[in-house]
Structure 1
Amino acid sequence: MDQVWETDQLPGRWLHHDGRRYLYCSGTGYLGIAHNPDFAALLAEGLARYGTNYGSSRNSNLRLRIYAEAEAYLTRWTGAVAALTVSSGYLAGQMAVKALALAGRFEYAPGTHPAAWLTDLPGLSSALRFDDWAEMLLEKLHASPPEPAVIVSNSLDPLRVQHYDFSWTRHLPSDRPLTLLIDDSHGFGVTGPNGAGIFPQLQVPDSVRVVVVSSLGKACGIPGGVVLSSDADFITGLQRSAYFAASSPIVPAYLHAFVRAAPVYTQARQQLAANVRQFSEAVAALDLFQMAEDFPVFYTPNNALCGFLQAQNILISSFAYPTPTDARITRIVLSALHTSQDVAQVAEAVRAFADHMA
């Protein structure tokens, strides 16, 4: 898809463009919260109580209780010792990584998101598979002097779609200060027990500090981000930092809705899981997609699928990423807004494409 479309409405299940209606299978709103009427009602309650914005520092002499309430909710949900909310996932990543700048040498997994980069060019290897990188890193750590290190990775690959296996972190050396920093922006709200993401799935030696950063704006539909940690002192340090004091917080009305929306999220996850199972089973034999269990993104290296589906009034994701000079990434993205009939329609169109290409 070389052309860029502009619209005056946020797509949900459908996108209307130039007089035509397209089934929308793109974006990162996996749970469809932006168009969920039950969540909208909770948000309306929050707006009535807190207004449309809160531009003050959270370190001022007047503090809204909803922030501590939301952070306590996040710790109960994920099993983290402490949590801190901020105004974006990118800020969460940058705040955490800058706080760790002197915590040891940085070891980056392939494909680590720029939100977790300490420098503009951290030297990521694009040639290594994640599992190979993890094996090499363990060997390197166990063979080297006990110097501190910060290990940085995404929780999964949302572009070419791969769940990462973190069982190797159980074998990290315990004779040195180590921090495991993971960006869980695409998993949080969808993967893990009750959508709690990667944090409760990690098993590391007691000596390893865990820090998970995430956008809340994807599955959870909240314009903000979060830092989770096994180390309460690390979160306290972030709270006292100039980055935190000088940044605007999440709009409190959204957190009001968030802490009251557990049934909304549960129902949306159930619908999304059913959609993913249905589509996965329908296209499994085509050998067209790279997919991961229970994840609503389906990557194909065949970019022609985008134009074919567009002609069938289905719009999928297909653009160069992360820069305009990079390769195009083509993916079908399902959401909780899709019905079983929608999924069947997309699957049928994909099978027609496979027949066309045969």
Structure 2
Amino acid sequence: MIKYIDSFPGKDLQVGSTNYLYFGGTAYLGLQTDVEFQNLYIDNIRKYGTNYGASRKSNIRINIYDQVEGYLAKLVGSEACLSLSSGYLAGQFIGQFLNKKEFKFFYTPNTHSALYVTNHEENKPTSYVTFSSLNIAIRDHLEKNKTNTPVVFLDSIDFSGANFPDYKGLQALPLEDVILVVDDSHGIGITGKNGGGVFRIIENLNPKELIVCCSLGKGFGVQGGAIFASSNRIKELTNTIFFGGASPASPANLASIYQSEALLNVKRVLLYQNVEYFRENIDRVSKFKFMLGHPAFTFSDEKLTAYLEEHHILVTSFRYPNENANLMSRIIISAAHTKEDINTLCEVINLYFK
């Protein structure tokens, strides 16, 4: 059931006169409601303004963009980084840029809509149901066509457990002949070394080329997107009309990421501790699909969702990305949750499965 609220859904939210514990959303580190982070963000708004609508190609250029892109590239482990106003735009940018006759697109199971070149359902490419069928299709393409390089799109975190953290299906592909485009929106900021996401992990699989894009809003708590790739590829993207004609991410948003490294590290430790505490105190964790090192616990039991709501606990549960899709139900543990919150959740779930 849809709930309408009047403030940001932190770990607690109120619907009408009813108070709920909230274990959903994508605010993994709880930054959006953290007072220290908010104060830093407000200070940056006062310095950089509420929005910056000029092109990055303008004759007036704000230094923070290059500073943050350099910082993020080092954090992730890529040669270079390019920031944009959203993660969805980043995915679309890559898809449209590579949509040329010398490339052939392939989509892995559960690929996010941000990576599809078209969102028109009648023209939308289909993702492969399994990595086995994808592997066969790519090898068949390589055998028959020597001029079109395969481009494989995938989500680093697909919530089924098929990708992160081992990427077994990906490893079976002929990666030495494949350009990988990876959406790391649910990984960057919370997974990898110091929250650097999956770039280093997948780079070690030695693909022909690796391009990673992401939203910055989930792991870093501010609106924005980014692309990580080789210096040459980032230079090509920067020189496009697409990039030059678009307004950039808010400089206040990027500055807040750059200046909050110590806080992010503290929050990430809290998140890991909370996730482990949940796993240790829930009796039937096998009822959920989850990935070691990630705070999402997915399930398909609609009765459990209703039971949790009866006990004043709300989780993510809706059909995504449209009404024809499967119901997505997910418990999200965040750095903002207390042990008392998690105890309450575990007690309710444990009673349900008794």
- Native 8 Å contact 1:32 1:219 kept in 2: no
* 1:122 aligned partner, one-letter code: P
- Native 8 Å contact 1:191 1:295 kept in 2: yes
CA offsets per residue over residues 26-45 of structure 1, 9 Å max, x none? 10111111011221122122
SS at match of 1:210: strand
Taking structure 1 as reference, are residues 264 and 7 closer, same or farther at Cα in structure 2, changes over 3 Å only?
A: same
Partner of 1:153: 154
Partner of 1:293: 292
Task: Kindly indicate whether residue 107 of structure 2 is the aligned counterpart of residue 108 of structure 1.
Answer: yes
Taking structure 1 as reference, are residues 133 and 267 closer, same or farther at Cα in structure 2, changes over 3 Å only?
A: farther
SS at match of 1:94: helix
CA offsets per residue over residues 105-124 of structure 1, 9 Å max, x none? 01110111111112331121
Task: Kindly indicate whether residue 170 of structure 2 is the aligned counterpart of residue 172 of structure 1.
Answer: no
SS at match of 2:152: strand
CA offsets per residue over residues 130-167 of structure 1, 9 Å max, x none? 4x356545644664543412111111213x45543336
- Native 8 Å contact 1:216 1:226 kept in 2: yes
- Native 8 Å contact 1:161 1:298 kept in 2: no
Partner of 2:244: 245
User: Following the alignment from structure 1 to structure 2, what is the Cα–Cα distance between the partners of residues 69 and 347?
Assistant: 43
* 1:155 aligned partner, one-letter code: S
CA offsets per residue over residues 286-315 of structure 1, 9 Å max, x none? 532111112111111211111111111111
Partner of 1:331: 330
User: Following the alignment from structure 1 to structure 2, what is the Cα–Cα distance between the partners of residues 207 and 293?
Assistant: 24
Shift of 1:188: 1.0
SS at match of 2:330: strand
Task: Kindly indicate whether residue 261 of structure 2 is the aligned counterpart of residue 262 of structure 1.
Answer: yes
* 1:70 aligned partner, one-letter code: V
- Native 8 Å contact 1:12 1:35 kept in 2: yes
SS at match of 2:154: strand
SS at match of 2:212: strand
Taking structure 1 as reference, are residues 171 and 153 closer, same or farther at Cα in structure 2, changes over 3 Å only?
A: closer
Partner of 1:304: 303
User: Following the alignment from structure 2 to structure 1, what is the Cα–Cα distance between the partners of residues 300 and 161?
Assistant: 11
- Native 8 Å contact 1:82 1:228 kept in 2: yes
Partner of 2:316: 317
Task: Kindly indicate whether residue 13 of structure 2 is the aligned counterpart of residue 15 of structure 1.
Answer: yes
- Unpaired runs of 5+ residues, structure 1, are none
* 1:62 aligned partner, one-letter code: I
- Native 8 Å contact 1:161 1:297 kept in 2: no
Partner of 1:282: 281
Taking structure 1 as reference, are residues 124 and 171 closer, same or farther at Cα in structure 2, changes over 3 Å only?
A: closer
- Native 8 Å contact 2:76 2:199 kept in 1: yes
State the number of aligned residues.
346
Q: Which moved more, 1:318-327 or 1:89-98?
A: 318-327
- Native 8 Å contact 2:89 2:225 kept in 1: yes
Partner of 1:124: 127
SS at match of 1:299: strand
Partner of 2:231: 232
User: Following the alignment from structure 2 to structure 1, what is the Cα–Cα distance between the partners of residues 161 and 171?
Assistant: 21
Partner of 2:184: 184
User: Following the alignment from structure 1 to structure 2, what is the Cα–Cα distance between the partners of residues 301 and 205?
Assistant: 32
Shift of 1:52: 1.0
Partner of 1:78: 76
* 1:340 aligned partner, one-letter code: K
TM-score norm. by structure 1 comes to: 0.91
State percent identity of aligned pairs.
32
User: Following the alignment from structure 2 to structure 1, what is the Cα–Cα distance between the partners of residues 235 and 30?
Assistant: 33
CA RMSD of aligned residues (A): 2.0
User: Following the alignment from structure 1 to structure 2, what is the Cα–Cα distance between the partners of residues 152 and 22?
Assistant: 38
User: Following the alignment from structure 1 to structure 2, what is the Cα–Cα distance between the partners of residues 140 and 341?
Assistant: 54
* 1:239 aligned partner, one-letter code: T
TM-score norm. by structure 2 comes to: 0.92
Partner of 1:35: 33
User: Following the alignment from structure 1 to structure 2, what is the Cα–Cα distance between the partners of residues 109 and 327?
Assistant: 17
Q: Which moved more, 1:109-118 or 1:325-334?
A: 325-334
Taking structure 1 as reference, are residues 351 and 245 closer, same or farther at Cα in structure 2, changes over 3 Å only?
A: same
SS at match of 1:259: helix
SS at match of 1:60: coil
